[in-house]
Amino acid sequence: MAKLTVHQNGIVSEVETGAGEILLHALRNSGFDVYSPCGGNGTCGKCKILIKGEGIVTSCIYIVNDSIELVLPDKGEAKVLVAQHAHTIQLPLMPGPSADLSVYPHGVAIDLGTTSLVFYLANLITGTVVETRAILNPQAKYGADVISRIQFTATHNDGIHILQSEILDAINRELFHLIQFAGITENEIIKLAIAGNTTMLHLLLGVNPLSLALAPFKAQFLEEQVCQGRELKLNCLPEAEIKILPSISAYVGADIVAGLASIAPSDTYRNYLFMDIGTNGELALVTDNRIWCCSTAAGPAFEGARISCGMGAVEGAISAYGDEGYYVIGHEKPAGLCGSGLIDLVAWLCVKGRIDPEGLLKNDFVIAPASESGTGQDISLNQSDVREVQLAKSAIASGIKILLKQSGLTFDQVDTLFLAGGFGNYINIDSAVRIGLIPAQMKDRIISLGNTSGTGALAALKSTRFDEPMKSVISKSILVELATDEDFAMEFAMNMMF
């Protein structure tokens, strides 16, 4: 027998199951409700379970051999998984000619984020998502945002090589783990599909990104790039296809192209807003014939950077806060505060009058004392943290207003707001509206889709048909330069208020 220690919604349960049992079946037989829209066939990848010490696995194909400790998605995360399945484009499994390079072909989709990297291992015979893993981007030590990293490459003779090596080494470590986990060899990894912002893709390929930071802000490449595994010295088949997805501009990258292309067409949302709230704060206003898009200088606050006790949305991060206290991802001792927890906390302090409308926090606020934390130090919020939130939320709110103005639409004419980005799994909509991050006019029309960049990368991995919606997104896109809009400065100043 194997023991399952199950965390769900703050409750810990222990159940037993037979060794060799499929995890999804074991959980359901023990009374746990696990979402699996494909019926447990392994094709949708939505029955995700966090196993401590291993990562996120697809429970319908995971075999329980030993006792494990696991965390089931809470209600908010489960809602996002349902939305992802309902609103994600469905395509036939057509990985392309690279699938012929192995009799047991596998591929890896990668969301190459500024703050974090997410990996999806897929069996390219069945379409099964075998495992999902997320790690922090090791380049962060050289700068929290893309501008800092570009500056690093410009001021260090070997800067580009250093940052490229950091990211390739991280990818290789994760490829090794995925290979070991799946019980395959590196020669069975025959395709990688990678989405990310334009700067991250330049750094991945060792291309000088300096032109991205200097007017007129031109990229060295925007088109899809294809190379082989041997060229990047990756832990995969040397002839493996490495597919770098296309971008729109210097600051509207392949992560946004992939995300927009991954949303299934529908008559219920002909006009919609798309918000990817990450380090760059990319926005798009989508209609049948046009896509107005922009990038806002939001900074990395909502990904935990530049926040005194900030961290990414990984185990140990406080991801929610309210009258009842805090919630920690993975039910560990708190180690820091991620973006969704930061939004909750600032909103709560505003409601309680601890932060005034101009953003003044009279005293530092201790979220978790040293005696409760996993770091042995107080986890707190200070005035500088609040200012970072003000800057980030104002940049995003102002960008939305400018897109509406450019398109000639009003909020009443926008059917849906799709909230993308990793922290969309945890964000409390009421809190986001309270601080002014999300327009109150859209409160009842918001759908969280989580990591759409990863969803798009996975679609590109599994089907060459995904090229068509990506090309459509690019052809319809109109880049809006916020810095040159005469109303942006006034909007930014007005949206600083809470």
Q: Break the chain into its structural domains and give their ranges.
A: 2-72, 97-255, 309-381
Q: What is the pLDDT of residues 245-293, one digit of tens each?
A: 999 999 999 999 999 999 999 989 999 999 998 767 899 999 999 999 9
In angstroms, the CA 234 to CA 437 distance is 39
- The CATH architecture annotation of domain 2-72 reads Roll (3.10)
Q: What is the pLDDT of residues 117-150, one digit of tens each?
A: 999 999 999 999 988 888 889 998 999 889 999 9
In angstroms, the CA 375 to CA 318 distance is 13
pLDDT value of residue 37? 76
Q: What is the pLDDT of residues 52-62, one digit of tens each?
A: 888 788 888 88
Looking at residues 32-57, what average pLDDT do you find?
A: 79
Does the pLDDT value for residue 393 go beyond 90? yes
Concatenate the DSSP letters of all residues of 322-371 into one string.
Answer: ETTEEEEGGG----EE-HHHHHHHHHHHHHTTSB-TT--BSS-EEEE-TT
Contact 105, 21 (CB under 8 A): no
Cβ count within 10 A of residue 330: 17
**Radius of gyration over every alpha carbon of the chain, rounded to an integer in angstroms:** 22
Q: 280 or 209, which is more confident? A: 209
In angstroms, the CA 204 to CA 117 distance is 12
DSSP 3-state helix, strand, coil percentages of the chain (rounded to 5)? 40, 25, 40
Q: Which two tokens stand for residue 95?
A: 């990985």
Looking at residues 422-443, what average pLDDT do you find?
A: 87
Does the pLDDT value for residue 76 go beyond 70? no
Strands 63-64 and 477-479, sheet pairing: unpaired
Q: 451 or 45, which is more confident? A: 451
Q: Which two tokens stand for residue 192?
A: 């990688």
**Amino acid occupying residue 154:** A
Burial profile 4-19: b = 16 or more Cβ within 10 angstroms, e = fewer = bebbbeeeeeeeebee
In angstroms, the CA 46 to CA 34 distance is 9
- The CATH architecture annotation of domain 97-255 reads 2-Layer Sandwich (3.30)
Sign of the four-CA dihedral 219, 220, 226, 228: negative
Q: Which two tokens stand for residue 334?
A: 């708190």
Q: Which two tokens stand for residue 245?
A: 């997805």
pTM of the model: 0.88
CA–chain centroid gap for 442, Å, is: 22
Residues facing residue 337 across a β-bridge = 310, 318
In angstroms, the CA 189 to CA 192 distance is 8
Confidence of residue 422 (pLDDT cuts 50, 70, 90): low
* Residue 337 phi, psi dihedral angles, 5° rounding: -125, 120
Tracing tokens 């709230």 back to the chain, one arrives at: 277
Q: Alpha helix (H) ranges present in 363-420?
A: 383-407
pLDDT value of residue 49? 86
In angstroms, the CA 72 to CA 58 distance is 12
Q: Which residues, 6 or more positions from 454, have their beta carbon under 8 angstroms from its beta carbon? A: 109, 111, 118, 120, 195
Tracing tokens 């208020």 back to the chain, one arrives at: 497
Contact 44, 84 (CB under 8 A): no
